Amino acid sequence: MRVAHTDERGWVAYAAEPLPANKYIGEYAGDYVTSAEAGDRLARYDRDGTGHALLVVREQLPDGTVARTNIDATMRGNVSRFFSHRCGEPGSDDGPNLELSTVRSLASPLSRVGVFTARNVEVGEELSFSYGPPPDGRLGQRQRCLCGAQGCSGWLPYALGS
C-alpha cells in the first residue's frame, strides 16, 4: 500500500501492487475506547476542525445482545486509518473493494477487526470500505460524501448513535 495526500479528501491509501480477492490486508488498529470516550473525542475533533478515524463496530452476539467496539485510529493507528469510505455493495464493480470482519476470542471482551479485499484490486486503486449506512437525519452534523460511486448516498454515515 502507499499513502498520498489529495486536495479534496486528505490522506488516502492506494494499492501498490495487485491484490487478489479475499486477501487479508491487516487489522484496523488504534485506541480501544468506551462509547463515552468516543463521543468526547468526536466532539473534540469536530470542535478542532480535524478529521477522525474512529471506527464503531456493532456485533449481534449469539444471546441477542449487541456489543459495541470503538477503535480510534486518529492519533495512533496504522495504514487502515487512511482507507476511504465508498458507498455501495462491497466487491461490486463500483462499490468498496475492502470488507471488515470481526474476530472475538474468549481471552478478550474486545473484538479485533480484520480488513480483507472484497474483490481483485488493481495497482493504484484507492482502498475503501463502507463506513456504514447513510445518516437518517436525526443525529450529528451531516458531512458530504465524496466517494464518486454511482449509487453514492451523498452523505457520510455518522460515527456514533444508537
Q: What is the pLDDT of residues 3-19, one digit of tens each?
A: 999 998 889 999 999 99
Question: For residue 79, what are the β-bridge partners?
Answer: none
95 within 8 A of 114, measured Cβ to Cβ:
no
The DSSP element (H or E) to which 117 belongs, if any, is strand 108-117
Mean pLDDT score across all residues of the chain: 87
12 within 8 A of 85, measured Cβ to Cβ:
no
At 115, the pLDDT band (50, 70, 90 cuts) reads very high
DSSP, res 145: -
What one-letter code names the amino acid at 13?
A
From 157, 159, 131, select the one nearest 144 (Cα to Cα). Answer: 157
Flag whether pLDDT at 144 surpasses 70: yes
159 within 8 A of 132, measured Cβ to Cβ:
no
Domains in the chain: ranges and CATH:
2-129 (2.170.270.10)
The Cα–Cα gap between 52 and 75 comes to 9
pLDDT of 119 reads 95
The Cα–Cα gap between 86 and 149 comes to 7
At 134, the pLDDT band (50, 70, 90 cuts) reads low
How confident is the model over 46-101, as pLDDT tens digits? Answer: 889 888 899 988 888 889 998 889 999 999 999 999 999 998 888 888 899 999 99
